[in-house]
Chain A
């Protein structure tokens, strides 16, 4: 269950952004997770509130975008969709493909309140 470690990493990075923007809380975090990232979105959703309790992300809306797996064939040049455990060219069937998309594990954006905290 390495999703807990990943939640901690997300929280650290998002908290830094919120601090830079002088926001007291975070409304929404948008993540992008490909099927080949090795991260289970449902586990992440379950674990995040535990990690974020009492922080600026306590009531955050976690949005997780998933990506398709797409490969480019090194032999015939075709670009096609593939299954995570069958990374084969959709046109010629070769396994000599490069992954174009599908292993993303990225924090895309955060939504913060418009009002800025007063300087103390």
Chain B
């Protein structure tokens, strides 16, 4: 068996990009490229921008209505005067979320994706030109509400936060493994509704999450009554502190 591709036929295999194998009907050219190579390149470029400016970039993902915008509003209000925050908002239509963020006094850039179900690195890059990254401590990217597509596209963020509200059910990590595997932090949101929902068990959600071999922390949060906010703000401050000082060359310099 071929060790590289696992196929049963070991003969005639050359696993080197650009290698050519002559076949009966033509020639086979080994490509060996990631399907999203161009997006990955753009994401690396974005990350260089972020590192150069010393800004922590957090990609927020969840289903629609899990409470991303509410959590961001509460976060911005809590960190007012301590952290300079901006938000890139991704939605299919409307400026509603950007307007809510601006209501807190923070800068918000709305990307309307039309029919696209996710943000990609190019869309984020285009939005960056309206922000002065060096004047920020944290940039949140609020991705399109969707537990499937955004997981496949690197935006150049430092951390992925995936939110799961108690009204959605505790088996979401089991149903959407690709998304929850990508989480650097799992936030259980709307915990003020746990009692009304009745059958959401945080420990069951955590077990499904661990079954994806994900060792990341889980926080229980309520933007409404403030539960868990101290731990969330602490996590953000720690991640912000972990960034290297802004010394790297700016990507366009």
Listed in ascending order, the chain A residues whose CB lies under 8 Å from chain B are 1-2, 5-6, 9-10, 12-14, 17, 21, 27-28, 31-32, 36-39, 65, 67-68, 71, 84-88, 95-99, 105-114
Which residues of A have CB within 8 Å of B213?
A: 71, 87-88, 95-99
Q: How many of chain B's residues have a CB under 8 angstroms from any CB in A?
A: 42
Cβ A85 vs Cβ B117 within 8 A: no
The 8 lowest CB-CB distance pairs between A and B, nearest first, are A2-B149, A38-B178, A87-B213, A85-B177, A38-B152, A107-B31, A105-B35, A95-B210
Candidates B6, B120, B174, B215; contact of A85 at CB < 8 Å: B174
Cβ B30 vs Cβ A6 within 8 A: no
Q: What DSSP secondary structure best describes chain B's contact surface?
A: mixed
Cβ A39 vs Cβ B5 within 8 A: no
Q: Decide: A6 near B36, CB < 8 A? Known: A36-B178, A38-B178, A96-B213.
A: yes
Candidates B26, B32, B120; contact of A114 at CB < 8 Å: B26
Q: Would you give the shortest CB distance from B46 to chain A, in whole angstroms? A: 17
Within residues 6 to 40 of chain B, which ones have a CB less than 8 A from any CB in chain A?
Answer: 6-7, 22-23, 25-39
Beyond the given pairs A9-B39, A106-B33, A107-B31, 5 more chain A to chain B contacts, judged by CB atoms under 8 angstroms and listed by A's residue number, are: A13-B33, A65-B5, A87-B177, A105-B34, A111-B29
Cβ B211 vs Cβ A110 within 8 A: no
Closest to A10 in B: B35
Cβ A85 vs Cβ B212 within 8 A: yes
Q: What DSSP secondary structure best describes chain A's contact surface?
A: mixed
Cβ B212 vs Cβ A111 within 8 A: no
Q: Would you give the shortest CB distance from B206 to chain A, in whole angstroms? A: 11
| CB-based A-B contact count at 8 angstroms | 123
Cβ B23 vs Cβ A9 within 8 A: no
Candidates B25, B118, B174, B179; contact of A2 at CB < 8 Å: B118
Cβ B27 vs Cβ A112 within 8 A: yes
Cβ B27 vs Cβ A37 within 8 A: no
Distance A9 CA – B34 CA, assembled complex (angstroms): 10
Cβ A85 vs Cβ B118 within 8 A: no
Q: Decide: A87 near B211, CB < 8 A? Known: A9-B37, A13-B38.
A: yes
Q: Would you give the shortest CB distance from A91 to chain B, in whole angstroms? A: 15
Cβ B148 vs Cβ A17 within 8 A: no
Q: Decide: A108 near B30, CB < 8 A? Known: A2-B152, A36-B181.
A: yes
Q: Would you give the shortest CB distance from A27 to chain B, in whole angstroms? A: 5
Distance A21 CA – B153 CA, assembled complex (angstroms): 29
15 A-B pairs in the complex with CB atoms less than 8 angstroms apart? A6-B35, A13-B37, A13-B38, A36-B181, A37-B178, A84-B178, A87-B177, A87-B181, A95-B211, A95-B212, A96-B215, A106-B34, A107-B35, A109-B31, A112-B26
Cβ B31 vs Cβ A5 within 8 A: no
Which residues of B have CB within 8 Å of A21?
A: 27, 29
Cβ B181 vs Cβ A17 within 8 A: no
Q: Is there a chain A Cβ closer than 8 Å to B243's Cβ?
A: no
Cβ B117 vs Cβ A108 within 8 A: no
Distance A14 CA – B26 CA, assembled complex (angstroms): 16
Q: Is there a chain A Cβ closer than 8 Å to B229's Cβ?
A: no
